[in-house]
Each structure stands twice: as C-alpha cells, then as structure tokens.
Structure 1
Amino acid sequence: MTEKNQQYFASNPESAHDFRSFSYDFAGKKLFFKTDAGVFSKNRIDYGTQVLLCTVYENYDKIPAGPILDLGTGYGPVGICLKAIDPKRAIEMVDVNQRSLGLAAQNLAENGLSAKLYLSDRYQKVNGNFAAIIVNPPIRAGKKIVTDMLTGAYDHLLKNGSIFAVLQKKQGAPSAEKNLLKKFDNCQIIKRDKGYYVLRSVRN
C-alpha cells in the first residue's frame, strides 16, 4: 500500500508525522490525547466514537464484572475514557496499527492510567473472555473484517457479557444488526444519533 492511499487500518503506516494534541471531557474527567497522521480521526474524537462512549456510559450498570476489550483502539479514546471512570476495571486495548498503539501508550501515560495494550488483527492475539467488547469498526477495511470484528466477539465474551458497536445506518448498521442477531440470537439498537446506531448483543 502506498503512502498516498494508506489507511488507518494499515499495520505500519509510513505517512509523514503530523502530531496533534487536544483535550476531551468525559463524565467529569478531563483527558488529554496526542494523535498523528496515519491514525483514525487525528483532529478530534470522531462523532461515532463519542456516541458509542456516551451510550456505553449510560448502560455501564449492565456490564457484569470482568475485563473490557477495546477492539481497534486507535490512539486509545475508548479504553482511556472507560479506565478513567472505573480505574479498578481491567482494560485491554488492541489494534492492528502499530503507530496507533504507540500513541495509545503515550496517552495512557499522559493521563496517569494503565491498561494492557497489544498488537492484534481482530481477535488473533486476544485471549480470555470479557464482560464487554467495545468497537467502532473500520468500515473502509471491508465487510468481511467488520463482520469478523462483530460476530467474533461471541467467542470472547463472558456469560451475560455484551458487545457494543457503533455504525452509521448508511454504512451498514442494518446489515450488522442482522449478523449480530444471527450470531447472538439477540441485538438491540440502544441509541440512534444523527445516523449513527449503537448496537448491543449479549452472550446468554
């Protein structure tokens, strides 16, 4: 893949660095993030992820005890926000993009937080089961990868554990809902916001 058309889901982006920094207020916590070229949404936390985060927070009491997996963490906004509100909860943050993981490590340190951070293509290096898996799938990576990220959650969830996923209606939310319903035998649209749907399926 050439530098010109490299996507944020590339394993090792070679785009020229373009570091940015910003703060983000979440549930009363002021958090700080450093980003760069070659990662998803480098200028701000994208709207879909904000909708996802707020919806998970609103439904946090439905998540049982156990670790949470931030699948496709990017520079770490989901995992860092959740760790900030619940420091005792174990958080694992994975991504295929090495540059993203480097930034996520810096952002954890900047915010005085710790989490298990490692390279994984979808669930390839993920072990154990989770109380929740949180994902804003990379639509441009293609339908197969997105479907793998969603339906693959089933084998990595504890009993009563949930996957929370955000997708735009026009970019495959109805299809994702059908795939989750087929795999889990349940799927709810728990939030609709400006074309974004947050889907939740529970492993019963």
Structure 2
Amino acid sequence: MGDHYFTADPSAPSRPGSVRLHTGGVQLTLATDSGVFSNGRVDRGTKVLLDTAPMPPARGPLLDVGCGYGPIALTLAARRRRLPIWAVDLNSRGLGLTRDNAATAGLGNVTACHPDEVPDDLTFAGIYSNPPIRSGKPALHALLLHWLPRLQPDGRAYLVVAKNLGSDSLQRWLAGAGWPTERLASEKGYRVLEVSPPRS
C-alpha cells in the first residue's frame, strides 16, 4: 500500500517542488513535496474554496483543517495578518512545509501543528477545509464532529467537496446532525458548503 495524503509520516522519498497560488489579490509561491496532498499543483477544490468563501462574520482565530503544505492557511493569513491562523494536519511532512512556507512568506500569524496540540479551550471564528474525503465517511464524520463544536456562536465553517465525491450527501448528513448547512457555491464540479452552529 502506498502512502495516502492523510498518512502521518509519509514513506515516499522526498521530491521537493513548488506551486504558485493566485487568489483574491494574494500571490504565493509554496514549497511542496511528495507524500502531501496535491503536491504538483494547487488543488482545484482548494482554489474554488479560496475564490468563493468569505471571511467569517466574527473576528477571532481561524482554522484550516487538513492544511497539507498550507495554501488555505497562508491565504487566510495574508488576508487577515492580525488574526491568528491555526493549521492542523496528521501529515508531518505537510506541517513542516506549512511552517516553512509561512516563514518564507513572512506570515508570522500561522501556527501549524498536530490536531492534539491545539489548546482545548480555543474556539474559532471560522473553519476552512478541503477535507480528506477519501479517508472514508466514518473518519470524515468523526473529523467534522471534532472540530465543528469549536466554532464560536457567530462563526462559520466552509468546506469544499467534489460533487461526485458526495458533497450533497455530506450536506444532508450535516443538517441531520444539527449543523445548518447551505450550498454557498457550485463551480468546476465542486460545492462549497457553509456550516453554521446549531440553532439554540
């Protein structure tokens, strides 16, 4: 079995590369490597998310779940340099790349770490994710149910999911689990879902 992008310690030999990201006035050159999600290009779903998802209505920390080499986290950090941006991933190679890319870009407001290293009492104004759909539904649902309760009362989560990988069924599942979810955008075969905290 080869590595998956959600493997904690990729065994694939290192093959460094780089990609260029342009979105909403942000231009970044990001280092990539083998064993990390979409290492050869900016993933189309990630680009759709960054092009369409707004900043959340609340001011406060933002979270990138499954950061990979950091395109989402670093874009958020560039757009909101005064806000703390947390980037989490199980993939140690991806976390190292995110830290290096943040340093290269001069973005000192990014903290890239393992999920267990996020303080338990920290809540977020916004959560952004191109989630690991291919990890399977049980793992995906567990991931979302771990992080969504960390939303602040007026915060929002933005998820991008390919239509052919179950975006509509995920939207129904989230709503059924008590998380009001709307389709914010549909572009290039991807849906961007906006998730709100449960209504009191």
Give the Cα separation in 2 of the matches to 1:93 and 1:162. Answer: 16
Give the Cα separation in 2 of the matches to 1:91 and 1:144. Answer: 27
Which of residues 112, 115, 125 is equivalent to 1:117?
112
Secondary structure of the 2:31 match is strand
State the 1:34 CA deviation. Answer: 0.4
RMSD: 1.4
Secondary structure of the 2:145 match is helix
State the 1:185 CA deviation. Answer: 4.3
User: Contact between 1:184 and 1:202, CA under 8 Å: does it hold in 2?
Assistant: no
TM-score normalized by the length of structure 1: 0.90
What is residue 96 of structure 1 aligned with on the other side?
Answer: 90
What is residue 84 of structure 1 aligned with on the other side?
Answer: 78
What is residue 137 of structure 1 aligned with on the other side?
Answer: 131
The unaligned stretches of length 5 or more in structure 2 are none
Secondary structure of the 2:177 match is helix
Give the Cα separation in 2 of the matches to 1:68 and 1:176. Answer: 22
Secondary structure of the 1:131 match is strand
TM-score normalized by the length of structure 2: 0.92
TM-superposition CA deviations, 1:94-136 (whole Å, max 9, x none): 100000001111100110112111112xxx4433110011111
State the 1:30 CA deviation. Answer: 1.9
Give the Cα separation in 1 of the matches to 2:145 and 2:105. Answer: 32
Give the Cα separation in 2 of the matches to 1:193 and 1:40. Answer: 21
Query: Would you identify which runs of 4 or more consecutive aligned residues in structure 1 move more than 4 Å?
Result: none
What is residue 50 of structure 1 aligned with on the other side?
Answer: 47
User: Contact between 1:137 and 1:166, CA under 8 Å: does it hold in 2?
Assistant: yes
State the 1:51 CA deviation. Answer: 0.5
1:72 to 2:66 alignment: yes
User: Contact between 2:58 and 2:154, CA under 8 Å: does it hold in 1?
Assistant: yes
Give the Cα separation in 2 of the matches to 1:94 and 1:21. Answer: 20
Which range is displaced more, 77-86 or 145-154? 145-154
Give the Cα separation in 1 of the matches to 2:59 and 2:187. Answer: 28
1:157 to 2:154 alignment: no
What is residue 146 of structure 1 aligned with on the other side?
Answer: 140
State the 1:24 CA deviation. Answer: 1.7
